[in-house]
Amino acid sequence: MAATSVQVVEDFQAAQNDKIASPPSQEDLERSEASKTKANEFFNDKNYDQAIFYYTEAINLNGCNAVYYSNRSLAYLRTECYGYALSDASSAIRIDSNYVKGYYRRATANMALGKFKAALKDYETVMKVRPNDKDAKMKYQECAKIVKQKAFERAIACDDSKSVADMMDIESMTIEDDYTGPKLESDGSITVTFMKELMEWFGEQKKLHRKYAYQILLQVKQILQKLPSLMEINLKDGEMISICGDIHGQYYDLLNIFHLNGLPSEDNPYLFNGDFVDRGSWSLEVILVLFGFKVLYPNHFYLLRGNHETDNMNQMYGFEGEVKAKYTSQMFDLFSEVFQWLPLAQCINGRVLVMHGGLFREDGVTLDSIRNINRNRQPPDSGPMCDLLWSDPQPENGRSVSKRGVSCQFGPDVTHHFLEENGLDLIIRSHEVKPEGYEVAHGGRCITVFSAPNYCDQMGNKGAYIHLKAPELKPTFQQFTAVEHPNMRPMAYANALMQLGIL
């Protein structure tokens, strides 16, 4: 690739330097403060897009105020624009090298991007300035622990080591007499009755027996590892498929999708487009239900990998912590193995391409390129696999640096060229919160669908899913709103450094 994700962020930072200009006039100072006040009000109302607009207005009037950059950095963090957040934090530090919040923000952005050593360096700086700050000390210690853990994992990694699945001894696990929950058949097979009982059991906040959870994981791994990186299906005339976007551990909203749209079956196929886990605090329930349906209907229920079906994201945003809290670290390791076998894209009737993120940082990527991706790994920092999981569309032609700090943003011309080169009609992707649950862009040829309404209990967005019916394959959109759920906050299992309240 022409540039790594680090270079992408550095390019954006260089552009930001131009905004740090000479001291403003008294009139501009007053106007910039008024804009900052408006921005703060929108931020407190959780309207982060408007907050960013007015922080930007303040910065354009006075590019010498570290607070403006730091505040906008926090707003970018809340909207998952980690690349922009990193750049703004760095700008705040360049303006005032003693501005502690700038280091806090930059460390948080680096943590979100999986750049733990860089984050640790900033936390070390904070500790030097505030050696008695308990919060800073906690963050420093937590970050240092992660860096040491990563170093240890690299040291013991061995290419010929056995997988967790190979070492599992399911038969030795006993089902206790007092367990009254859903049970698999004696041969381990999954039935419709089991899935209905499982969904109800999880809805009552009860736990599936560990033996059955392991059996589901082992069965779904056997199915997934036989699949290509690019799945290809053909709908017959009159057949329809439902395409869902991000779920992010919002289990009760997943149940609502099945209530509104019907349970999966051979006559009611589904495609879930990545980011099943993290953030929401019922990620384990979501993924076990989805995996259960994949085993039950392997040829009519489809799952694609998202950027959150990865170790770094799971470590920071809650899934690893949730699995360890509800089961064991061994089970998380098995989930990690299974996630690596999830396909990266799906082509429907040779006309519609579905992926979690989007298109590519370079021209020339074809469907054959996707077919040839070795996906059984953690995603690299650049290349087609990274782009499929991370990129985003933009309204302007061409490509630009990613707001996330990973991959790129691509314009209508990029979409048009890719579709024409590969004989496709449109792409469907997810990866971004949309107020209406979906968005049609690039002249109708790039569609975003997001299925986690009121994302993280704070965004107020609708959820949506798409119906595609052959032969037309014209997308129709079904919107829905969030449903009530038990009183458990989002990010309950996330790493302490990523809790929204301490950014």
CA angle 450, 456, 459 (to 5 degrees): 70
- For 143, half-sphere exposure in the C-beta direction (CA atoms, 13 angstrom radius) is 28
Model-wide pTM > 0.85: yes
Find the CATH number of the domain harbouring 140.
1.25.40.10
Q: From 156, 189, 211, give the residue that closes a domain.
A: 156
3-state per-residue secondary structure call for 273-315: CCCCCCCCCCHHHHHHHHHHHHHHCCCCEEECCCCCCCHHHHH
Q: Is residue 63 part of a domain?
A: yes
Q: What token pair was written down for 69?
A: 């950059």
Determine whether 485 is an active site residue: no
502 belongs to a structural domain: no
Distance CA 503, CA 498 (A): 7
What dihedral do alpha carbons 427, 430, 433, 435 form, nearest 10°? 50
Q: For residue 246, report the phi and psi dihedrals to the nearest 5 degrees.
A: -55, 140
Q: How far apart are CA 113 and CA 118, in angstroms?
A: 10
Q: Is 240 helix (H, G, I), strand (E, B) or coil?
A: strand
Instruction: Identify the pLDDT of residue 19.
Output: 52
How many domains, the chain?
A: 2
Is residue 163 included in any domain, yes or no? no
Q: Domain holding 308: CATH number?
A: 3.60.21.10
Give the pLDDT score at 73.
96
Amino acid at 373: I
**Are residue 306 and residue 455 in the same domain, yes or no?**
yes
Q: CB of 242 within 8 A of CB of 261?
A: yes
Pair 218, 282 in one domain: yes
Q: Clarify whether residues 142 and 213 are in a common domain.
A: no
pLDDT of residue 138: 87
Banded model confidence at residue 485, pLDDT cuts 50, 70, 90 = very high
Mean pLDDT of 470-485: 98
What is the pLDDT at residue 502? 33
The rounded mean pLDDT for the chain is 92
pLDDT given at position 163 = 87
Asked if the structure places residue 465 within a domain, the reply is yes
Lay out the sheet containing 399-401: strands in order across.
Answer: 392-393, 408-410, 399-401
What would the mean pLDDT of 71-86 be, rounded to a whole number? 94
More confident residue, 151 or 238: 238
Rounded to an integer, the average pLDDT of 202-214 is: 98
Considering 209, 308, 431, 442, which one is annotated as catalytic?
A: 308
Residues 190 and 130 in one domain: no
| Tens of pLDDT, residues 375-404 | 999 999 999 999 999 999 999 999 999 999
Whether residues 131 and 262 fall in one domain: no
User: 223: pLDDT confidence band, cut at 50, 70 and 90?
Assistant: very high
In a domain, 168, yes or no: no
Q: For residue 471, give the nearest of 351, 367, 353 by alpha carbon.
A: 351
Please check whether residues 133 and 231 belong to one and the same domain.
no
pLDDT per residue as tens digits for the range 32-70: 999 999 999 999 998 899 999 999 999 999 999 999 999
Domain that holds residue 193: 181-343+428-484
Q: Tell me: do 305 and 452 sit in the same domain.
A: yes
| Residue-level pLDDT at 161 | 64
Q: Would you say residue 21 has pLDDT above 80?
A: no
Q: Cβ distance 467 to 240 under 8 Å?
A: yes
